Structure 1
Amino acid sequence: MPRVLTARAVADLVAPALAAESSGPAYGRLTEALRHLIADGRLPEGSRLPSERDLPGPLGLSRTTVTRAYTELRAQGYLHTRRGSGSVVQVPDVPGGRIDHLLTPSALSDGAIDLTCTAAGAPGGTSEAYGQALEELGAYLPGTGYYPGGLPVLREVVAERFTARGLATTPDQVIVAPGALAGVAIAARALLAPRGRVLVETPTYPNAIATLEGAGARTVAHPIEHAHDDWDVAGLGRTLRQSGARVAYLIPDFHNPTGALMPAGQRAEIGRMLRAAGVVPIIDESIVDLPLDGQVVPEPLGRHVPDAITVGSVSKSLWGGLRVGWLRVPRGRAADMAASRLKLDLGVPVLEQLVAARMLQAAPEILPQQQARLRAGRDVLLAGLREHLPDWRVRVRAAAWRCGAPCRARDRPRWRPRRGPMMSRSPPAPTSPRAAGSTAGSDCPTCSATTSSSRSHRGSRKPGPTCWQAGSALAGKTGADFSRSSPASSPDQPPTERHQWLPQPPPSAASGCPSPHRAPPVVVSCQTGLTR
């Protein structure tokens, strides 16, 4: 049954737009206001609007005005009216659907739910930001339209946000790029010699690995297991000394895919270690604006490493369709980064930069709504897991959900205390978890990593991200850590029960990464499930 929206609730939503000065007719302003509310989800698809008789009173408009507005919305495809059922909100179809064919499986069975790309839609206020940006666009039309470094207005906003978080930044230190992943590519090409080594955490964001390798880098894995949201600082130091890596790719803020948040004390410690080793970190802050449960995010890791390159974007926190990201670069590397930027393309579209600037300026109003929306979606997902997968162990954690499902249906789980099963092709031996950690390694069939079957691919030659990757915004970016488990005879004994794993999608499926050799399982982990 459709959700019924009260006349008062709808009137409160459209009141700001109706109160704004405009020379257009009242029905036109009402039509535009309702269309914006439908487009950004504040009037949900499938909900029923108040009748043409009930809405005029709270709005202070005539019934004729409301009727004309509803007629316009029906003609535009935003409203469907059926006798006896009222006027129901709908979103017009778009050619080819709302997910690009490169991000979807080549074939899905009837009734299957596609989780390969489950990014959230645009938040409330997006349509208004586009309208404001269109008004500003005219001033830029006489120019060439090429801004490879980024519009000054956007760079100023980004610099102010860095400064407000404790990392003093000026606009000349900001370079705008088409997404955070493009920022990683720009930084890698500027910092790395051919076949240069880059330390990456494992698991990590798989598209970042592909980007680094595409820049000619050799990745060096540093296994992490965030049981308590902390980093293995000593292990990181050993890996840096032994590997000879001169660059490191790190995600300290709601790590992808584990969701861990690096504590302030460890940021200072890791900063000292990186400085001492002469390693330049590429710090990915794509998800820093999504503390779903009100966590206080520590000061940026870049504050502890003056030579750090920090990348970010609006794709996770606002909308992926903007394709706007940035790099924050030290002044001593600005020239090299600018040269690398020019080799990528000649800039992000002017309109989208203006929209991003507007939305970042309105972030104090937009982000709480977006976080609440994602948090509600997470709760829906968790409720579904409890109902339909009662044998899965669930732990809510900040801005992320992750799962211990194996890479392929044939893979066998290796029991680990408190955490999800590890990936291993052979069944676990009846030994203690400590002894099991020394079993022979196996090749991960999805990410081609040679693992030691011990803690999180410890000892792997290459990182294995997609064992843990997935699309989580099924319910809008969750906040859970969940893994399948079966009863064990004692805390030191592995489970003897076998599990029925969820099916594997076709090899062409990838969560935000159409690379066919890195296809994730149907449901595995992801930091917040948004693709970059």
Structure 2
Amino acid sequence: MTTRYVSGPQLARLLGQTPRERPVYLALARRVRALVLDGRLAGHTRLPAERDLASALGLSRTTVTAAYDRLREEGYVESRQGAGSWTALPPLRGPAPLAGGPGYGMSRAPDEAGTIDLGAAAPGAPAAFGEAVAAAVAELPRYSDGPGYEPGGIAALREVVAARYAERGVPTRPDQIVVTTGAQHALVMLLRVLVEPGAAVLAERPTYPHALTALRERPARIVPAGVTGGWDAELIAGAMRQAAVRLAYLIPDFQNPTGHLMGADERAVLAEAARRADTVLVADETFAELALDPAAALPPPLAAFDATGRVVSIGSASKLLWGGLRIGWIRTTAPLARRLAESRESLDMASPVLDQLIVRELLLRLGEVRAERAAALTASRDALVAALRDRLPGWEFTVPDGGMSLWARVGLPVASLLAEAAERHGVRVVPGPVFGAEGVLEDFVRLPFVLPPGTLAAAVDRLAAAFAEVRAAPVARPRPAYV
């Protein structure tokens, strides 16, 4: 049953100016199809009546009816007499690699077979790592007299994390911080405490694939919100209200995989919408410290716009510091922090003390680490962008100002086929559907820029050869769907 709808004016705003192409109904159908495929229009979203959309667009009802008919033939719209029309997806035409499949776990230099792995964004440890480890080991004996179990995390790390939130404009006490075994563990803990099985949870589309896995395993009813073109605060607020969303999982800072940075105005609107809808906003800030210009002025954290304790922040050491340090944290109200710490005692007891001490030492060197990361990532990003513009000029992307990946539209719905061909050409890449919950995003791939510039240039050469192979192959057309 459809629980979401889009009004005529809202859909007209998403579609943009009246199409200039002729015939207009085909151009209109193409635009609606693109909104479905890139996730901005969720599946099973009820569409406005033909009369309402025609009025909003300034077109004739006959034109809109013809566009809807075309979309029904292609399988992107379904209708039922007396019930209206809603978005749909035609059957998938090719297998999509699973999120946990080969090459997804980490990005690394070419392996023994010469394969370049662009599976995920995961850099090596920073130069300060050795000194931080030595300092942490020297500090460790101070903790050896106790049991070693601190469900909320050791005080020394919680103090440093709380102080960093205060520096970013969100006054925070150490008792508002819970140390976790990574950001994924933090999300699982929050879902366990805050979300009943079957409850509605909003997630961006595209989003971090392992977050989708956690939502499915709860299990939660996933309500997608398209962010390929950025956040539409009005639509997201409507989705929270219409679907009675209990929790919304967002990545506002250099979003994974798109690289988008949410503006301050959008943060304020979403915080207020969450208050009105009685929704908890979980802001994953894993990439928040990874602006490529460390001196750039960034929007305040999402929690800075919250006066009711509805924004819960997740942080992680995995991207900024090193993925081998399985340490993350949650910032929330003190009462919820206590509930989370108590609940984890039946899950994993506590995070390793030595790892927490190493993370603390690295966070005390935050300026040095951020500068090192920014310099390396900027050089690699620029090399990737230059190679794509040279070898794959038809691909579309926005150059991100931070984070670790670039979200590229390849121009054809062949991302899964491209990933298979790329593997044969010696490069692993994750296709768009892995980052969505409904099999859309087939014309996107994510390209991390954590590898050295020369390696990325070689990877693009191989991708170009794979893309040429896919374009030359015949593509099966979907059967028309009549309802």
TM over 0.5: yes
Amino acid at match of 1:473: V
Residues 309-341 of structure 1: CA deviation (Å, up to 9, x unaligned) = 110011111111111100011123233222332
Distance in structure 2 (CA, Å) of the matches to 1:104 and 1:154: 27
Q: CA deviation at 1:361?
A: 1.0
1:304 to 2:315 alignment: no
Q: Go from structure 1 to structure 2 and tell me whether the alpha carbon gap of 1:224 and 1:465 turns closer, same or farther (over 3 Å shift).
A: farther
1:474 corresponds to 2:442: no
The residue aligned with 2:468 is: 500
Greater RCO, 1 or 2 (C-alpha within 8 Å, sep 6+): 2
Alpha-carbon distance in 1 for matches of 2:162, 2:433: 43
- Equivalents in 1 of 2:251, 2:436: separation in Å? 22
Inter-partner Cα distance in structure 2 for 1:502 and 1:144:
58
Q: Tell me if 1:205 matches 2:208.
A: yes
Task: Say whether the 8 Å CA contact 1:149–1:175 is kept in structure 2.
Answer: yes
TM-score (norm 1): 0.59
Q: Contact (CA 8 Å) 2:291, 2:374: kept in 1 or not?
A: yes
Which position in structure 1 is the counterpart of 2:417?
409
Cα contact 1:202–1:224 (8 A) shared by 2: yes
CA distance change for structure 1 residues 102 and 287 in 2, over 3 Å: closer, same or farther?
Answer: closer
Q: Which residue of 1 aligns with 2:375?
A: 372
Once the two structures are superposed, residues 25-51 of structure 1 have per-residue CA deviations (whole angstroms, 9 ceiling, x without a partner) of xxxxxxxxxxxxxxxxxxxxxxxxxxx
SS where residue 415 of structure 2 aligns?
A: coil
Contact kept, 8 Å, 2:123 with 2:450, in 1: the verdict is: yes
Distance across 2 between alignment mates of 1:302 and 1:242: 24
Query: Counterpart of 1:256 in 2: which secondary structure?
Result: coil
- Preserved contact between residue 274 and residue 310 of structure 2 (Cα < 8 Å): no
Aligned-pair distance for 1:246? 1.1
Give 1:287's aligned residue: 287
- Once the two structures are superposed, residues 85-118 of structure 1 have per-residue CA deviations (whole angstroms, 9 ceiling, x without a partner) of xxxxxxxxxxxxxxx998379xx99433222245
Q: Which runs of 5+ in 1 are unaligned?
A: 1-99, 412-422, 424-443, 452-456, 458-463, 484-497, 504-532
1:141-160 equivalent positions in 2, closer than 5 A: 141-160=144-163
Superposed displacement of residue 283, structure 1: 0.9
Distance 2:265 2:433 in 1: 37
2:151 and 2:342 in contact (8 A); partners too: no
Q: Distance in 2 between matches of 1:380 and 1:268?
A: 35
Alpha-carbon separation, structure 1, partners of 2:136 and 2:183: 22
What is the CA–CA distance in structure 1 between the aligned matches of 2:170 and 2:128, rounded to whole Å?
A: 28
| Mapping of residues 132-171 of structure 1, within 5 Å | 132-171=135-174
Distance 1:120 1:300 in 2: 24
Distance 1:263 1:465, change over 3 A: farther
Q: Residues 445 and 126 of structure 1: is their aligned pair in 2 closer, same or farther, counting only changes over 3 Å?
A: closer
Larger Rg: 1
Per-residue deviation, 1:186: 0.7
1:501 to partner: Cα distance: 6.2
Judged with a 3 Å threshold, the aligned counterparts in structure 2 of structure 1 residues 445 and 171 are, in CA distance, closer, same or farther, namely closer
Question: Matched residue of 1:266: which SS?
Answer: helix
- Map 1:114-193 to 2 at 5 A: 114-193=117-196
How far apart are residue 276 of structure 1 and its match? Answer: 0.8
Letter in structure 1 aligned against 2:247? V
Q: Would the aligned equivalents of 2:207 and 2:435 in 1 still touch at CA under 8 Å?
A: no
Percentage of pairs with the same residue: 37
Cα distance in 2 for residues equivalent to 1:394 and 1:196: 35
Q: Distance in 2 between matches of 1:341 and 1:467?
A: 37
Over the aligned positions, Cα root-mean-square deviation in angstroms equals: 3.3
The corresponding residue for 2:269 is 269
Q: Compute the displacement of 1:447 (Å).
A: 6.8
Measured in 1, the distance between the counterparts of 2:256 and 2:437 equals 18
In structure 2, relative to structure 1, the CA distance for the partners of 1:501 and 1:269 (3 Å cut) is farther
Which residue does the alignment assign to 1:17?
none
The one-letter code matched in structure 2 to 1:201 is E
SS in 2 for 1:409: helix
Instruction: Look up the match of 2:324.
Output: 321
Q: 1:390 to 1:109 in 2, by over 3 A?
A: farther
Aligned-pair CA distance for 1:158: 0.3
Unpaired stretches in structure 2, ≥5 consecutive residues:
1-101, 420-430, 461-465, 472-483
Question: Normalized per residue, which structure has more helix?
Answer: 2
After superposition, the Cα gap between the structure-2 partners of 1:206 and 1:102, relative to the gap in structure 1 and judged at 3 Å, is closer
Deviation for aligned residue 1:134:
0.9
Give distance in 2, aligned partners of 1:205 and 1:290.
17
Counterpart of 1:300 in structure 2: which amino acid? P
Paired with 1:125 and 1:389, the residues of 2 have a C-alpha distance of 37
CA distance in 2, matches of 1:196, 1:141: 43
Any conservation in 2 of the 1:204–1:465 contact (CA below 8 Å)? no
What is the CA distance between 1:275 and its match in structure 2? 0.6
- Counterparts of 1:303 and 1:194 in 2: how far apart (Å)? 30
Secondary structure at the residue paired with 2:210?
Answer: helix
Q: How many Å separate the matches in 1 of 2:346 and 2:247?
A: 20
For residue 392 of structure 1, what is the aligned residue in structure 2?
A: 395
The answer as to whether partners of 2:104 and 2:119 remain within 8 angstroms in 1 is no
In structure 2, what is the equivalent of residue 334 of structure 1? 337
Amino acid at match of 1:408: S
Deviation at residue 448 of structure 1 after TM alignment: 7.9
TM-score (norm 2): 0.64
Q: Which moved more, 1:138-147 or 1:376-385?
A: 376-385
Q: State how far apart, in whole Å, the 2-side matches of 1:279 and 1:193 are.
A: 13
Q: Which residue of 2 aligns with 1:21?
A: none
CA contact (8 A) 2:106 2:122 kept: no
AA partner of residue 415 (structure 2):
C
For 1:169 and 1:320, locate their aligned partners in 2 and report how far apart those are by CA, in whole Å. 26
